[in-house]
Homo-oligomer: A and B are copies of this chain.
Amino acid sequence: MISVDSLMVHKLIKQALSEDIGTGDITTNSIISQEKTIEAKFNSREDGILAGLPVAEIIFKILDENIEFIALLKDGDKMIKGQDIVIVKGSARAILTGERVALNFLQRMSAIATMTNKFQEAIKPYKAKIADTRKTCPNFRIFEKYSVQIGGGIPHRFGLDNAVMIKDNHIQAVGSIQEAVKLAKQNISFTTKIEVETENINQVSEALESGADIIMLDNMSVEEMKKAVELINNRKITEVSGNVSLETVNLIASCGVDYISASAITAKAGIIDIGLDM
């Protein structure tokens, strides 16, 4: 489970606050007195799955450690249009200054959780799980991957140092899948899995013999996927990638694969409308 309460996440949140605040919130600091306190409610203006509440709490606590943050829901909960999510009480300056950044996290993270959930629901009768990709917004990946998990998906490798993924160009460079996997095994930790991207049944056969842990079926037709799953016969983990949409995902899942990775759950999630009412 990816955590959003770590040193690394705190640094990213502070950076996001600095991005928005810079030398200071000149409007609020000019108009609102330092002593004024208010009570505000985050309120959902769309149905969806909530994600990012612990991030919002960290944001307000950074701005003023005395802010009260009374959660009415928790990450992963369904929220319906109009539902209150959290009550925030305390320094008016801190709440007004932090509002936008808190919403920017909550809206994006909830949208990703919601989109992931839709994909996962769409393949319900099947065993497949929806996975994310590395097609994430630069410097926002950990929040996207956390939200995918909140939405019921499963994370793919975090980055280039977490697992081996042998692609087209790697294979071409050394001549065969066999050779590429062999080279990888010699150079990486034995605690690291190896995945091979395959584009046809021949490559699947080759990958099966190669010592890879995971076989990716890349942009294959439904017929090919079915054949591949049958051939692999649970000897390797299978992942499908390419052309995955809410329209196609059920059919893909019906082929019997283990994982379906979809950039759409992060890159096309957009935002869920959440607002702050005073």
> Do B137 and A104 touch across chains, with their CB atoms under 8 A apart?
yes
**Residues of chain A in range 115-150 having any CB-CB distance to chain B below 8 Å:** 129, 131, 134-143, 149
Number of chain A residues close to chain B: CB under 8 A: 98
> Do B160 and A22 touch across chains, with their CB atoms under 8 A apart?
yes
Q: Which of A25-33, A75-83, A202-210, A227-235 contacts B (4 or more CB under 8 A)?
A: A25-33
Tell me whether chain A's interface is mostly helix, strand or loop, or mixed: mixed
Instruction: Known contacts A169-B278, A173-B32; decide if A17 and B7 are in contact (CB<8 Å).
Output: yes
**Residues of chain A in range 58-74 having any CB-CB distance to chain B below 8 Å:** 62
How far apart sit A172 and B92, CA to CA, in the bound complex (Å)? 12
**Residues of chain A in range 1-29 having any CB-CB distance to chain B below 8 Å:** 1-3, 6-8, 12-29
Nearest Cβ in chain B — how far from A131, in angstroms? Answer: 7
> Do B140 and A183 touch across chains, with their CB atoms under 8 A apart?
no
How far apart sit A167 and B18, CA to CA, in the bound complex (Å)? 21
**Residues of chain A in range 247-275 having any CB-CB distance to chain B below 8 Å:** 258-259, 263, 267-268, 270-271
The 8 closest A-B pairs by CB, nearest first: A16-B138, A30-B187, A22-B161, A163-B191, A25-B160, A139-B139, A1-B187, A3-B24
A-B contact pairs, 27 of them (CB 8 A): A1-B29, A2-B26, A7-B14, A8-B21, A15-B138, A19-B139, A20-B134, A22-B160, A24-B160, A26-B188, A28-B170, A30-B183, A30-B188, A31-B183, A31-B184, A32-B170, A32-B173, A92-B173, A96-B170, A131-B190, A135-B271, A139-B139, A161-B162, A163-B189, A190-B237, A191-B195, A193-B193
